[in-house]
Amino acid sequence: MVTAPPSQPRTPLPPDAPSAALAVDIGGTKAELRARAGAADSGVVRIEWDAPGRPRAPDFDDDIERLDAAARRALRAVGATRPRTAVLALPATLGAEGRVSRWPGRPSWRGRRPAAELAARWNATPLVRDDALLAGYAEARAGHRTRAGLLYLGIGTGVGGAWLPPRPADTPPEGPDELRPCEAGHLVVRPDDGPLCDCGQYGCLQAYASGPALLRAAEARGEAAALAEAADACALAVAAIGELLPFATVVLGGGVGATRADLAAALSAQLPRRTRRGSTLPEVVPAVHGTAGSLAGALLLALSAGPPEHPSAPDAAARRGGAATTRTLETAEGDPRT
């Protein structure tokens, strides 16, 4: 495996400067960041990896540079100059020392250490968690029933999952590590005649229900057939997971799961056929956070982790002229408003 040494930051952020909680959700096609200090909220700062006008080969070092620049912009928006705590939501598989061992979505990240690279720039070591785990955590804290267990399915470019064990009296989990991430997308639901998954196996849930899989199936066999196949694959997967783990609620999030009400309805309709007779059917509900669950979970963790907030952060935000109020402004990279 070819690895490069961490590149040197141009200007490390000073350790004693006003600080903020920083959440970073890194996906295969985009990244979203959000900073908060006291009542000041940066809103979402978005990076499109392959935005029009930026033709280039995917490159880890360039991605890190852009993440660093976007983080500094989000921090400035709340009157801070460094992260007090930072959390990265990442779909990649990590090996020893936080090295990316597998990520089909950003192949140039393989063998590299994103948290170490960003820690060198930020004077704060980011916590790294699975993106579906953080989304499931945000959902489990958003008012869903939890007393009989909760399964989160994040259906987007890929399919991820997280499971929350039954809790007393519908109480929310204290932290994301009370959930367990699971590779629900690579649960094989049709081993013999299923389509090829990008993991190399045939008939994975992800090969039916992910956004790209749905598009391919719709082109080949029509929208109705694609939806029916995806819903059946989801029902098989939910039934199989339900034989191993207890849950009474299935939360659908991600770009497909949170927006396709027809998929949720078709899954609910298909569950009785795919679930063992006599077992209690789980309720299928849309994600409260929609497609922003991973970023919401990362921000919850960043706010709860680490030392107390630097006392000067809200003051600094106030000096900037009213930034110490919650903003929901969405800013894209290079947006003149920032």
Q: Which span sits near Zn ion by CB under 5 A: 43-51, 78-86, 154-162, 190-198?
A: 190-198
- In the complex, the smallest distance separating the C-beta of residue 196 from Zn ion, rounded to whole angstroms, is 9
Q: Which span sits near Zn ion by CB under 5 A: 39-47, 50-58, 134-142, 192-200?
A: 192-200
204 sits near Zn ion (criterion: CB under 5 A): yes
Cα-Cα-Cα-Cα dihedral of 163, 21, 109, 8, to 10°?
-160
Residue with Cβ nearer Zn ion (199 or 281): 199
Q: Which span sits near Zn ion by CB under 5 A: 69-77, 165-173, 191-199, 290-298?
A: 191-199
Q: Checking DSSP bridges between strand 19-26 and strand 30-37, what pairing results, if any?
A: antiparallel
Residue with Cβ nearer Zn ion (160 or 282): 160
90 sits near Zn ion (criterion: CB under 5 A): no
Contact 241, 278 (CB under 8 A): no
213 sits near Zn ion (criterion: CB under 5 A): no
Q: First-to-last CA distance in the chain? A: 39
Residue 190: HSE in the Cβ half-sphere, 13 Å Cα cutoff: 17
Residue with Cβ nearer Zn ion (185 or 253): 185
Q: Which two tokens stand for residue 322?
A: 């009213």
DSSP label at 21? E
202 sits near Zn ion (criterion: CB under 5 A): no
Residue with Cβ nearer Zn ion (108 or 201): 201
- In the complex, the smallest distance separating the C-beta of residue 233 from Zn ion, rounded to whole angstroms, is 12
- In the complex, the smallest distance separating the C-beta of residue 50 from Zn ion, rounded to whole angstroms, is 24
- In the complex, the smallest distance separating the C-beta of residue 102 from Zn ion, rounded to whole angstroms, is 12
194 sits near Zn ion (criterion: CB under 5 A): no
199 sits near Zn ion (criterion: CB under 5 A): yes
Residue with Cβ nearer Zn ion (201 or 312): 201
Residue with Cβ nearer Zn ion (116 or 199): 199
186 sits near Zn ion (criterion: CB under 5 A): yes
DSSP H or E segment with residue 160: strand 159-164
DSSP H or E segment with residue 31: strand 30-37
Residue with Cβ nearer Zn ion (71 or 187): 187
Residue with Cβ nearer Zn ion (75 or 197): 197
82 sits near Zn ion (criterion: CB under 5 A): no
- In the complex, the smallest distance separating the C-beta of residue 58 from Zn ion, rounded to whole angstroms, is 22
172 vs 142: CA distance, rounded Å:
8
Tell how far CA 133 is from the center of its chain. Answer: 8
176 vs 297: CA distance, rounded Å:
8
224 vs 106: CA distance, rounded Å:
31
DSSP H or E segment with residue 283: strand 283-286
Total number of residues shown for the chain: 338
- Site size for Zn ion (CB under 5 A): 5
Strand-by-strand arrangement of the 159-164 sheet: 180-182, 159-164, 150-155, 249-253, 283-286
269 vs 262: CA distance, rounded Å:
10
Contact 121, 60 (CB under 8 A): no
Q: Which span sits near Zn ion by CB under 5 A: 53-61, 171-179, 189-197, 227-235?
A: 189-197
183 sits near Zn ion (criterion: CB under 5 A): no
φ/ψ of 258, rounded to 5, equals -85, -15
Residue with Cβ nearer Zn ion (204 or 292): 204
Residues 6+ apart with CB under 8 A from 311: none
Sole binder of Zn ion in the list 92, 128, 197, 251 (CB under 5 A) = 197
Binding site for Zn ion (CB under 5 A): 186, 197, 199, 201, 204
